[in-house]
Chains A and B, each alone.
Chain A
């Protein structure tokens, strides 16, 4: 049973560029959440997708956008990259609307912005 997978593992970009990160949820899960984990910090919620729609959003600018596909996989897009966007980006999958459900996390994508 495959868990949550993310690609790529590492990415280096320069300021102003755009980046797309990808996530495939755990089998049987229909909801994908994205988090940003800066060095020395806990994960911060970016947004959550269910039924191909953004359901909740954290305190992140519009430069951060996403998409969910019919097979439940998801993409995170970040435009006009800033140095401060350097972080580990985590994807987590779960079942929608079940707050007691456990979120399963992927290994993350390490984004470095130069």
Chain B
């Protein structure tokens, strides 16, 4: 079965700082990768996803993530964060067809951006 590790549980940044949130997964086969965001009081929303092709994926609100297969990683980045990026960020992976296509989530990273 697949699993996901998010190493940074709490991140505090000032506006305009650069962001990188780590995500590593464990599964030896083909994977699909996702980053979700949960803004305060709102539901989980998809930021971006990777299925195949270009390992650098661009999502909404200026976020991007890079899939590095050799490192089993899918780190989320943003060059300049805003106060409105304050939220919980979840990395998720599913692994069809050999594994399950039900996504497995990491425990999340809480990001606080100070104005």
Chain A residue numbers with a CB within 8 Å of B32 are 99-100
A99 pairs with B108, CB closer than 8 A? no
Which of the residues A42, A45, A106 comes within 8 Å of B90, measured between beta carbons? Answer: A42
A90 interface residue, CB < 8 Å from B? yes
Which of the residues B42, B51, B108 comes within 8 Å of A100, measured between beta carbons? Answer: B51
Task: Please report which residues of chain B, range 65-104, place their CB below 8 angstroms from some CB of chain A when the two chains form the complex.
Answer: 90, 92, 94, 96-97, 100-104
> Main SS of the interface on chain A?
loop
Tell me the minimal C-beta distance from A65 to chain B in angstroms: 18
Q: Which residue of B lies closest to A3 (CB)?
A: B43
- Please, how many angstroms separate the alpha-carbon atoms of A92 and B102 in the complex? 11
A17 interface residue, CB < 8 Å from B? no
Q: Which residue of B lies closest to A91 (CB)?
A: B43
> Size class of B's contact patch?
20 to 34
B46 pairs with A42, CB closer than 8 A? no
Tell me the minimal C-beta distance from B92 to chain A in angstroms: 8
Chain A residue numbers with a CB within 8 Å of B103 are 45, 103
Chain B residue numbers with a CB within 8 Å of A108 are 43
B44 interface residue, CB < 8 Å from A? yes
A48 pairs with B46, CB closer than 8 A? no
Q: Please indicate which of the listed interface residues B49, B96, B97, B102 has the most CB atoms of chain A within 10 Å of its own CB.
A: B102
Residues in A lying within 8 Å of B, measured CB to CB: 3-4, 33, 40-45, 48, 56, 58, 90, 92, 99-100, 102-103, 105-108
Residues in B lying within 8 Å of A, measured CB to CB: 4, 6, 32, 36, 42-46, 49, 51, 90, 92, 94, 96-97, 100-108
A-B contact pairs, 23 of them (CB 8 A): A33-B102, A40-B107, A41-B108, A42-B107, A42-B108, A43-B90, A43-B105, A45-B103, A58-B102, A90-B43, A99-B32, A99-B94, A99-B101, A100-B49, A102-B46, A102-B49, A103-B46, A105-B36, A105-B44, A105-B45, A106-B43, A107-B42, A107-B43
